[in-house]
Amino acid sequence: MLTAPSLGYSLLAPMLIVLAGAVIGVLVEAFVGKARRTAIQITLSIGVLLLSQQQLWRIKDLSSTTAAVGSVTIDKAGIFLQATIILLSLVAVLLIADQDNFVAQASALPGSPEEQNALQEKSQQTEIFPLFLFAVSGMMLFTVASDLVTLFVALEVFSLPLYLLAGLARRRRLLSQESALKYFLLGAYASAFFLFGAAFLYGYSGTISLVEISAAVGSANDVFLLIGIIFISVGLLFKVSAVPFHSWTPDVYQGAPTPITAFMAACTKVAAFGAILRIFYVGFAESQTIWRPIITTIAIITMLFGSIVAIAQRDVKRMLAYSSIAHAGFLLSGVVALNKDGLAASLFYLFAYGFATLAAFGIIALIRDSSGEVSDLNRWVGLGKKSPLTAAAFSFLLLSFAGIPLTSGFVGKFAIFSAAYQSGNISLVVVGVLASAIAAFFYIRVIIMMFFTDPVNDSVSVIIPSVKSKISISASLLISFVLGIAPSLLLTTAGNYANFIR
């Protein structure tokens, strides 16, 4: 007879609340009248996120490996990562709430009369909110999952909604749908690789638990361990868009509705790197001689590739996509460091990078012409003259991505590189600074276009943002700014929370 597993509901509450919010969101879609849905969905999303954050605050000093029969480990680092995801989501949901970025009726074919009707009737569908909440809950689970099957489930729970959300852009729908399909197909392959690797690790160690896999190292033929680690890594590196598994990134960043790009770029990175850190720090720490050279190489290639290819980009969203690839390389340096400093630095970096990214994409969504958003950089010329404040804010974010001192990006880079140097990976530090120098070139080029080039007639304008966007963009900007000047509070917190329990 099966006995019901004992669950630590109190520790799982933050995740369960978001999941419940998502389910209620689906019910709202089914039973509430069209007119009131939007308001209810937004309130619901913000409400559950706040509640979940409050629950995280309550359990912030607790830890347990048995909250869900050994498949979830609640620990300091997990709580920090979950809190980061929720804070980022809170900002992101305000961007998503600007619904004119989304298709009115996803089932209507692009260009069809149904689409026109839906637009004219303003019958905006609101299924994005439950999808968003499902994705958030999956991300939260991903960062605390401590066995391979739970990891896989969490991976799918947050990936599937994202595949859908990526295809929901109102304008340039075909591009958006193409990107969604590409993301889905490649993502499905990556998931399959992950599962395949999990099977090999199970075959090697006879267990799916990360801790027990770590304990089993050396007990059987290491080839299976190697194959398992490599395949698992492929699945994970796909999610963080490390080279050579990055090819979806520019297309999806460009095609997806900008608020979704913002959400994806910020939160997926946190979730996926959270999982990578846990898997490598907890599960594979004993077998580091096997994977460290591989991940080091990938980190180096990713940093260089992302920075170099970004130079050739003419679309701001694609450029930021390649920049996010380069940042994935920097973050991998923190993984390779494999020490407490590396973990703390990665936690800080993810937080800081997340908010800068949200703010950047939030601003991109404001820059439009009559037919919608303009992401072609050539048409951004002279923006500094028309809307100096917006252009200055965007420049500040670019400088932060480039890692100029007094920005949050610099502190993060410094922390990551000193951890990498500490662990003896000097080559990573040298390549990292070289890649930063290359990257500086294209960030600065955008600043030149905005400030030092005269506007041409067909150039674009900045729409007046809604209150929600305004709040979300200014909050992210403020956080980025404060983290640059006075990073010590978050650094100390990240240092205190940089701990995986086994």
Partner 1 sequence: MSLLTIIGLLPLVISILIVAIPSKNIGLIKKVAFGGTTVIAIISILLAVGFDKSGTSLQYVQSNAWIPTFNINYSVGIDGISLVLILLSTILVPIVVLATWHESDRGRWSAKVFYVLILILETMMIGVFAATDLFLFYVFFEAMLIPIYFLIGGYGSGNKSAAAVKFLLYSLFGGLLMLASIIGIYVISGNQIGATFDLAQLATLEIDNQTENFLFLGFFIAFAIKAPLWPFHTWLPDAAKAATPGTSVLLLGVLDKVGTYGMIRFCIQLFPDASKTFTPLIITLAVISIIYGAFMAIGQKDIKGLIAFTSISHFGFITMGIFAMTSQGMSGANLYMVNHGFSTAALFLIAGWMMMRRGSSTISDFGGLQRVTPVMAWVFFIAGMSGLALPGLSSFVSEFLVLVGTYTRYPVAAIIGTLGIILAALYILIPVQKILHGPTTPGNEYLTDLNLREKIAIAPVILVIVLMGFYPKPVLDLINSTSEQVVTNAGFSDPVAKVDK
Judged by the rule CB under 8 A, the positions of this chain that interact with partner 1 are 344, 385, 399, 402, 404-406, 411, 414-415, 417-418, 421-422, 426, 429-430, 432-434, 436-437, 440-441, 444-445, 448, 451-453, 487-488, 491-492, 495
The β-bridge relationship of strands 367-369 and 372-373 is: antiparallel
CB of 385: closest distance to partner 1 in angstroms? 8
CB of 486: closest distance to partner 1 in angstroms? 8
Say if residue 110 is preceded by a cis peptide, omega within 30 of 0.
no
Place of tokens 């990175």: 269
CB of 280: closest distance to partner 1 in angstroms? 21
CB of 12: closest distance to partner 1 in angstroms? 31
For partner 1, which is the closer residue by CB, 385 or 468?
385
CB of 310: closest distance to partner 1 in angstroms? 15
CB of 210: closest distance to partner 1 in angstroms? 28
- Cα–Cα dist 353/332, whole Å: 14
Structure tokens given for 245: 């598994």
CB of 203: closest distance to partner 1 in angstroms? 40
Instruction: State how far the alpha carbon of 32 is from the alpha carbons of 27, 41, 332, 340, in Å.
Output: 8, 10, 45, 49
Strand partners, 123: none
Alpha helices in 97-172 (DSSP H): 113-120, 128-144, 148-166
Crossing angle of helices 269-278 and 222-239, in 10° steps, is 160
Cβ count within 10 A of residue 61: 8
Which of 41, 47, 31 lies closest to 124, judged by CA? 41
CB of 289: closest distance to partner 1 in angstroms? 22
Q: How far out from the chain centre does Cα 363 lie?
A: 17
Cβ count within 10 A of residue 457: 4
For partner 1, which is the closer residue by CB, 245 or 417?
417
For partner 1, which is the closer residue by CB, 148 or 420?
420
DSSP tag of 168: -
CB of 186: closest distance to partner 1 in angstroms? 33
CB of 452: closest distance to partner 1 in angstroms? 4
Written as one letter, the residue type at 321 is A
For partner 1, which is the closer residue by CB, 21 or 484?
484
For partner 1, which is the closer residue by CB, 15 or 350?
350
For partner 1, which is the closer residue by CB, 445 or 502?
445
User: 197 with 178: CB under 8 angstroms?
Assistant: no
CB-neighbour burial class of residue 454 (10 A; exposed 0-12, middle 13-18, buried 19+)? exposed
Half-sphere exposure (Cβ direction) of 460: Cα atoms closer than 13 Å: 25
For partner 1, which is the closer residue by CB, 159 or 387?
387
CB of 402: closest distance to partner 1 in angstroms? 8
For partner 1, which is the closer residue by CB, 160 or 435?
435
For partner 1, which is the closer residue by CB, 109 or 312?
312
Output b/e per residue, 148-175; b: 16+ Cβ within 10 A. Answer: bebbbebbbbbbbbbbbbbbbbbebbeb
Written as one letter, the residue type at 447 is I
What's the order of all strands across the beta sheet hosting 367-369? 372-373, 367-369, 461-462
CB-neighbour burial class of residue 264 (10 A; exposed 0-12, middle 13-18, buried 19+)? buried
For partner 1, which is the closer residue by CB, 150 or 395?
395
For partner 1, which is the closer residue by CB, 47 or 388?
388
User: 393 with 465: CB under 8 angstroms?
Assistant: no
